[in-house]
Structure 1
């Protein structure tokens, strides 16, 4: 049983005709018939119902069809990988991130593209709760998460340390405080993200533990909208420090420390444990590791 026989068998099964399969494969019809007969002889099974004119598969044919597809897909994957290698890593890097974690990727993608200008990069925006599933479904090779996934099939590498930051408008009464206690926040109006997350739940639990009300008067669909709304003087917000770097540097927002609210966020790259990563993905991981070594904290590269 060789791959040509399997390819011929699949062509007949899909075209439901020996003549159409022969035309598709650029072979003669007798050559196609001979390949099928030889395959049936080697397997000791009839694969096609000869009494049927439309190439209906027998039960044995249905079983073989599934495995034949897998084998031919593996052949194509192997050929693609070798072509990538010959062409100096030309290929495609598929990543998944959400609005927040995508910001972490930007300097790394800049460095990656400098080193690998021929590789196309595609970052798919995905809810954090879906990223591990997308990785396992082979939709993307690598995802970026702000929490460690529970699935044992997923390997994660901690790559960045971040923390929640309380941000206010420069004219807000707290802007000059520098540091406050969580009790001082009970009367404030918070602008919050409307997507549930493990971090949001930790904040809610921290306020409850300190018997302090958390008044989320406004909920918005993006971190960018939250920042803009607070800049306009509407309440305060807890956002990842990474997200507010530009506004804090320009003075558009002011960060206020909260003694009881030091919540660290660890960003992780995740990929399938049993994966044979593409050359593009392996090259990206090397860039991440080298970038962390060169820049130090908050960048890191720690497998877990």
Structure 2
């Protein structure tokens, strides 16, 4: 079956004229006539009656026109959808992040610029976020302390500093300057699980200066750390990008070596040029 012939017939059936059909298809009128003639001759069927004033459909032509109108109507609908996606009027973006604090402002910017875009956000720890990106369950991901690897495009989002989170009435909570990391030696602490990036960075920084905090509670979320500190169970460690106003606690940036975390936005290198991914990467810039 020749789709060019069917497309020419469909245009004539819609326009009722070979001349207008040619204009619709951006081809010559003899080309339209030739396609329709070839279709009729191949299937030994008369689809159109040509009169001096107009073109009329035969009974068979009317039946075929109902089919081609539906068929090419769906093609036009598909083209409209794809064109809207190309212009970022519509589309769906799968985003993964290892925390909500950096990604939410970016999603707000995306919504303001491209209100027709639908976003699905999945939050997880650093390992889960990277795994979602590498397995293509996410188009883009906000990551922390990820090493470069082949096939992965990374773009810097800046650094954050580790902070000590203290109960508001703790003896170390009063000063406004940075808190030296050695002040945490032998202090009772409530920390994230060992696989957390925040915990790993803190442990490495303590090892550099031989600080030995007393970790009496390990928790699996930032919110749990805040609640534990507010309940005076110990001192917590949080990233500066995760700080939220809470009158029960005070955050003091830590001073020392190795207390910074690098934040990045990433995507698969081979998908980097997709317009929707490009739009999101542009927000980071």
The TM-score normalised by the length of structure 1 is 0.61
Unpaired segments ≥5 residues, structure 2: 3-77
Contact 1:132 1:149 in 2 (8 A): no
Pair 1:92–1:195, CA change in 2 (3 A): farther
Q: Is the aligned partner of 1:89 residue 2:85? A: no
| Cα distance in 1, alignment partners of residues 211 and 252 from structure 2 | 18
Cα distance, 1:83 vs structure 2: 5.0
Residues 80-117 of structure 1 show CA distances to partners (whole Å, capped at 9, x for unaligned) of: 7545126x43000111112x2x2101111112101111
Q: Counterpart in 2 of 1:188? A: 187
Contact 1:159 1:268 in 2 (8 A): yes
The worse-fitting range, judged by mean Cα deviation, of 168-177 and 191-200 is: 191-200
Q: Summarize the alignment of residues 93-242 of structure 1 with structure 2, pairs less than 5 Å apart.
A: 93-98=93-98, 100=99, 102-177=100-175, 178-242=177-241
Q: Is the aligned partner of 1:265 residue 2:264? A: no
| Cα distance in 1, alignment partners of residues 106 and 204 from structure 2 | 34
SS at structure 2 position matched to 1:132: helix
| Cα distance in 2, alignment partners of residues 191 and 287 from structure 1 | 35
SS at structure 2 position matched to 1:245: coil
Greater relative contact order: 1 or 2 (C-alpha under 8 angstroms, separation 6 or more)? 1
Contact 1:89 1:280 in 2 (8 A): no
SS at structure 2 position matched to 1:227: helix
| Cα distance in 1, alignment partners of residues 234 and 90 from structure 2 | 49
Q: Is the aligned partner of 1:252 residue 2:240? A: no
| Cα distance in 2, alignment partners of residues 209 and 110 from structure 1 | 39
Contact 1:155 1:270 in 2 (8 A): yes
Pair 1:147–1:181, CA change in 2 (3 A): closer
Candidates 274, 278, 281, aligned match of 1:282: 278
SS at structure 1 position matched to 2:149: coil
Pair 1:159–1:276, CA change in 2 (3 A): closer
- The structure that has the greater radius of gyration is 2
Pair 1:288–1:206, CA change in 2 (3 A): closer
Q: How many matched pairs?
A: 209
| Cα distance in 1, alignment partners of residues 272 and 207 from structure 2 | 45
The TM-score normalised by the length of structure 2 is 0.65
| Cα distance in 2, alignment partners of residues 231 and 261 from structure 1 | 27
Residues 203-245 of structure 1 show CA distances to partners (whole Å, capped at 9, x for unaligned) of: 2233233222121101111101111221222211110011113
- Structural RMSD (CA): 2.7
Pair 1:181–1:124, CA change in 2 (3 A): closer
Pair 1:217–1:171, CA change in 2 (3 A): same
Cα distance, 1:269 vs structure 2: 0.5
SS at structure 1 position matched to 2:173: helix
Cα distance, 1:165 vs structure 2: 0.6
Contact 1:195 1:221 in 2 (8 A): no
SS at structure 2 position matched to 1:246: coil
SS at structure 2 position matched to 1:133: helix
Pair 1:275–1:179, CA change in 2 (3 A): closer
